[in-house]
Homo-oligomer: A and B are copies of this chain.
Amino acid sequence: MITVALPKGALLEESIRLFQKIGLDFSAFNDSKNRALQIVDPTNTARALLVRALDVPVYVEYGQAQLGIVGYDVLREKTPKVADLADLQFGYCRLSVAVKSDSNYQESRSLPAHARVASKFVQCAREHFHGLDLPVEIVPLYGSVELGPITGMSEAIVDLVSTGRTLKENGLVEIDLLFESTAHLIAHPLSYRLDRGDLSHYCDQLRELTPQQQSVTS
């Protein structure tokens, strides 16, 4: 029986819908009263784990799940040793640099050397500024990163933006884009190569459901 790691939060509903289309029903996770962290689909052919988005690649890397769905942003930040099989083309957002709208910074390069940048994406932020040869101090935060510039703790933030509503409400504007992110299908490399539990069959079906997908293996 294969095990699938599904991410709590924004990508869950669409992930469940996708697996329903290939005959695996994990909709019990949609029930707000559900407290179970693992369920078996009614046809008894696959198990699903409900975990934090950041934990999806951990379960897949350790082989406790053979498949997983996770945002590309998590793959970029954590660089787990998993096979990145397909862009599933939902859950669009982008990782951007933002500053206060009344500041004079037009792009990342215009930030002063040793500026403070608050972010949940410490590695991505570091790489971005390193690539620009601009030394900055990354302030690691776990939530509400927009408070960084508001309180004066940081000149800029690196954060995920989807509609842009949160930025606008907090008087911030995007000045640079690091990358765009969507949900990706990932697999445990060894299980995928050995085609354990008919894995390639499921992967092919999921790929067919997402036209123009770009397949990359890392």
Contact = CB atoms under 8 A, between A and B. Distances in A.
Copies in the complex: 2
Contacts of A64: 151-153
A52 B147 CA distance: 11
A146 B143 CA distance: 23
Contacts of A54: 142
Interface stretch (A55-63, A104-112, A190-198): A55-63
Contacts of A3: 151
Interface in A132-185: 139-144, 146-147, 150-153, 169-170
Nearest to A141: B55
Contacts of A151: 3, 38, 49, 59, 64-65
B142 A37 contact: no
A108 to B, nearest CB: 21
Contacts of A152: 64
B58 A147 contact: no
Q: What is the size category of the interface that chain A forms with chain B?
A: 20 to 34
Interface in A28-66: 35, 37-38, 49-52, 54-55, 58-59, 62, 64-65
A1 B200 CA distance: 61
A81 interface: no
Contact of A143 (B38, B51, B65, B153): B51
Contacts of A35: 169
A38 B150 contact: yes
Contacts of A150: 37-38
Interface of A: 3, 8, 35, 37-38, 49-52, 54-55, 58-59, 62, 64-65, 139-144, 146-147, 150-153, 169-170
Given A8-B143, A59-B151, 18 more contacts: A3-B151, A37-B146, A37-B170, A38-B150, A38-B151, A49-B147, A49-B151, A51-B144, A52-B144, A54-B142, A55-B141, A55-B143, A58-B139, A58-B153, A59-B153, A62-B139, A62-B153, A64-B153
